[in-house]
Structure 1
Amino acid sequence: MNNILTPIKIKNILIQNRIVLPPLVRFSMIEDDGYVTDKLLDWYESIARDGVGMIIVEATCVSADGKLRENQLGIWDDSFIEGLSKIAKIGKKYKIPMLIQIHHAGFGKNIKDVDEKILDEILDKFVIAFHRAKKAGFDGIEIHGAHTYLLSQLNSRLWNTRNDKYGGDFERRMYFNKTLIERTRELFDDNFILGYRLGGNEPTLEDSTKIAIYLQDLGLDLIHISSGIPEERFRQPAKIDNFPENYPEEKDFKLDWVIYMGVEIKKHLHIPVIGVRNIRTEEQVSYLIENNLLDMVAVGRAMIFTNKWMVKTRKAYLKRVKNDTK
């Protein structure tokens, strides 16, 4: 049986445990120019030093006009490589695999009206950004396809009602994903991981399951299930009866709909699945891993607000196991 400290190998890359730092955008640590700062380097070093299994570096934008807000990390120019390589070197120093999330904020519900040439240009920028990410020394890339940003907008049949190569039927809604992966396939050798953060409700769990299978068939190595369309009516309620009986007592976690979507999508895939949202304790992580509900679990806010969360969690797990064997 796997536990939170069980290593997992993706291609030639060994991940020492099942806990992931998700791509948390640290706006307070970045200036408007989008370059890596000493504060940001200190943050990633503190997480790596404490022994998390894998780090996914925050949403890093392919275009200056595609940012979430002004102070977001950038990768739209070769001049960003030097700073980004300093982050990647932290991973090498502590033997913590590091992926970098590549991102464009998109156009909201107006995605249907965006000129095809603009999307062609953004696609080119994603391709170039992938090359920069590998040159910077990261162990892989996570494509940001969740949270209503560009790829999420294109994936969704609710918003993408275009009638061109970028939208219409399912295959055309997947055109950006497919073309991006095909044009960068040579980068993803046995030492470079291709990951994808997918909204689990685009707009339904069934839609996202179909997308996940499609991406897997394109050669995805890893998928990270988060939220898609935020409207309440599109939230997938967790069916708790589908879970094993030894559920942790924390009510908020028990009812979490995003974790549930990750668990459900995993049933249809053969690549590793990361789940995320409202994970705070060792017991919660252990429950998901030990019951084979997820392959890895991402812990975000708890790592920000709890000093040395990973160190404390490892100790709590080992203490609990010791007590259980008495």
Structure 2
Amino acid sequence: MTNILTPLKIKNIEIKNRIVLPPLVRFSLIDKDGFVTEELLDWYEKIAKDRVGMIIVEATCVCEEGKLRENQLGIWDDKFIEGLKKISDIGKKYEVPMLIQIHHAGFKEEIANVSEKLLDDILEKFVLAFERAKKAGFDGIEIHGAHTYLLCQLNSRMWNTRDDKYGGDFERRMYFNKTLIERTKNLFDDNFILGYRMGGNEPTLEDGIEIAKYLEKLGVDILHVSSGAPDPEFKQEVKINNFPEDFPYDWVIYMGTVIKKHVNIPVIGVRKIKTEEEASYFIENNLLDFVAVGRAMIFQPHWMVKAREDYLKRIGKKDESK
């Protein structure tokens, strides 16, 4: 039976267990200039040293104008490569694959009125950011297409009411993604993973399923299902479509379990997972391929070490990997 310690290979990259550190933006550890700090390196080393399966480095911005806050990691210039490489080197030191999340905060509902030229310019910045990410030594990239940021805004039929190449019907709403992936496909060899963090509700779960299937066709290697740009009349906290009342966890991770049924690539689920037993539920029941554990990694030191111990204790085995 597959469990949280079962390895899984994506292309040539072996992920030694099914626990992922999601891209937690550590604002308190970053200065306003966007460069990697020693405090941030210490954070990633702590997680890698505990042998988490994979690390997705936090939202890293393609241009200063697209930042969430002043103190956010940058990748809009070659001068950032040296610091970012120090992060990827930590992954190599502990044999923990590292993706880096590439991000632009976007324009919210105003996405409908943004000029085509501005979106062309931002698309070019994404391409350059991808190239820098590979030069910095990461094992892959995660495109940030969730949480109401730029690509999420473009994906959403509720927010994207444009009538040009960047919006209209489904194909045009996906134009940015399609063009970005096509223009950078030369980077994604057997040793470089393309991931995508997507909104499962875009604005509904049916839309999320359609987007997930399309991304798989474009060549995405792994999906990371989170929340998107929702319908404001949609009561997320109560019900999502046919959200089963007896489902024991959050509606966002539920969307990941549904989307997994519609694609043939690995799916990461996320939201409010705090214990080994909770993570194991999704892996052992083949509901997800990976489980992302975020806040618990911050507030519970050595979460992965304890999770490994708890799992082995639960099945009556000793940890022979030490």
Q: Give me the TM-score of the superposition, normalised by structure 1.
A: 0.94
Displacement of 1:159: 0.3
> Residues 234 and 140 from structure 1, CA distance in 2 versus in 1: closer, same or farther, beyond 3 angstroms?
farther
Quote the residue 2:307 is aligned against.
313
Q: Matches of residues 145-294 of structure 1 in structure 2 within 5 Å? A: 145-229=145-229, 231=232, 233=234, 235=236, 237=240, 239-240=243-244, 254-294=248-288
SS in 1 for 2:44: helix
> Residues 234 and 131 from structure 1, CA distance in 2 versus in 1: closer, same or farther, beyond 3 angstroms?
farther
- Supply the AA of the counterpart residue of 2:282: L
Question: 1:175 and 1:182 mapped to 2: Cα distance?
Answer: 10
SS in 1 for 2:151: helix
Q: Matches of residues 90-129 of structure 1 in structure 2 within 5 Å? A: 90-129=90-129
Question: 1:229 and 1:112 mapped to 2: Cα distance?
Answer: 14
SS in 2 for 1:6: coil
- Supply the AA of the counterpart residue of 1:165: K
Q: 177-186 or 225-234, which moves further after superposition?
A: 225-234
Question: 2:263 and 2:246 mapped to 1: Cα distance?
Answer: 18
- Supply the AA of the counterpart residue of 1:84: L
- Supply the AA of the counterpart residue of 2:195: G
> Residues 93 and 85 from structure 1, CA distance in 2 versus in 1: closer, same or farther, beyond 3 angstroms?
same
Question: 1:240 and 1:111 mapped to 2: Cα distance?
Answer: 34
Q: 5+ residue gaps in structure 1? A: 244-253
Question: 1:29 and 1:322 mapped to 2: Cα distance?
Answer: 39
SS in 2 for 1:184: helix
Structure 1 stretches of 4+ with a deviation exceeding 4 A read none
**Is the contact between residue 275 and residue 297 of structure 1 (CA under 8 Å) also seen in structure 2?**
yes
Question: 2:169 and 2:227 mapped to 1: Cα distance?
Answer: 22
Q: 5+ residue gaps in structure 2? A: 318-322
- Supply the AA of the counterpart residue of 1:117: K
**Is the contact between residue 32 and residue 71 of structure 1 (CA under 8 Å) also seen in structure 2?**
yes
SS in 1 for 2:225: strand
Displacement of 1:197: 0.1
Displacement of 1:234: 5.6
Displacement of 1:242: 8.0
Displacement of 1:65: 0.5
Displacement of 1:233: 1.4
Displacement of 1:232: 6.3
- Supply the AA of the counterpart residue of 1:41: L
Quote the residue 1:25 is aligned against.
25
Quote the residue 1:295 is aligned against.
289
Residue deviations 1:143-177 (CA, integer Å, cap 9, x gap):
00000000000000000000000000000000000
Q: 203-212 or 234-243, which moves further after superposition?
A: 234-243
SS in 1 for 2:234: helix
Question: 1:46 and 1:294 mapped to 2: Cα distance?
Answer: 26
- Supply the AA of the counterpart residue of 1:233: F
Residue deviations 1:17-57 (CA, integer Å, cap 9, x gap):
00000000000000000000000000000000001000000
Residue deviations 1:220-262 (CA, integer Å, cap 9, x gap):
100000011254616253733686xxxxxxxxxx241001000
Quote the residue 2:320 is aligned against.
none
Q: Give me the TM-score of the superposition, normalised by structure 2.
A: 0.95
Quote the residue 1:249 is aligned against.
none
**Is the contact between residue 153 and residue 229 of structure 2 (CA under 8 Å) also seen in structure 1?**
no
Quote the residue 1:75 is aligned against.
75
Work out whether 1:37 is the aligned partner of 2:51: no
**Is the contact between residue 148 and residue 229 of structure 2 (CA under 8 Å) also seen in structure 1?**
yes
SS in 2 for 1:278: coil
Counting aligned pairs with the same residue, the percent is: 74
SS in 2 for 1:141: strand
**Is the contact between residue 33 and residue 71 of structure 1 (CA under 8 Å) also seen in structure 2?**
yes
**Is the contact between residue 166 and residue 176 of structure 1 (CA under 8 Å) also seen in structure 2?**
yes
- Supply the AA of the counterpart residue of 1:286: S
